């Protein structure tokens, strides 16, 4: 059985904006059912050494989390202060 195509929304903030495929930092990405957050990071060419926080539908997740159609993936750098 062939995996279905799904679409998710991606939102990039702060330094992560540089990985947007165009000028828009909120955009749709087409992928296949069963894809993970890591697959999207690879598709956006975000190096694994780049520190970031991942939210999926408003909840913090790890990169192995499987995506579902119409999910919202938010990426931003860790916040530090002092």
How many structural domains comprise the chain? 1
pLDDT one digit per residue (tens) for the chain, 82 residues:
677 899 999 999 999 999 999 999 999 999 999 999 999 999 999 998 999 999 999 999 999 999 999 999 999 998 765 5
Tell me if 69 is assigned to some domain: no
Is 72 within the bounds of a domain?
Answer: no
Q: By residue range, what is the domain housing residue 31?
A: 8-64
3-state DSSP of the chain:
CCCCEEEEEEEECHHHHHHCCCCCCEEEEEEECCCEHHHHHHHCCCCCCCCCEEEECCEECCCCCECCCCCEEEEECCCCCC
Q: Is residue 71 part of a domain?
A: no
Domain assignment present for residue 74? The answer is no
57, part of any domain = yes
Measure the CA angle with vertex 50, ends 44 and 54; round to 5°: 70
Could you tell me if residue 50 is inside a domain? yes
Domain membership of residue 77 (yes or no) is no
What distances in angstroms separate CA 43 from CA 1, 15, 35, 38, 79, one per listed residue? 23, 17, 11, 9, 24
Q: What is the pLDDT of residue 81?
A: 59
82 lies in a domain? no
């Amino acid at each position: 059985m062939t995996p279905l195509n799904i679409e998710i929304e991606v939102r990039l903030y702060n330094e992560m904006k540089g990985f947007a495929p165009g000028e828009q930092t909120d955009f749709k990405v087409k992928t296949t059912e069963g894809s993970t957050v890591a697959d999207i990071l690879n598709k956006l060419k975000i190096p694994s050494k780049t520190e970031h926080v991942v939210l999926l539908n408003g909840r913090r997740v790890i990169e192995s989390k499987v995506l579902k159609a119409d999910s919202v993936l938010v990426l931003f750098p860790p916040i530090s202060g002092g």
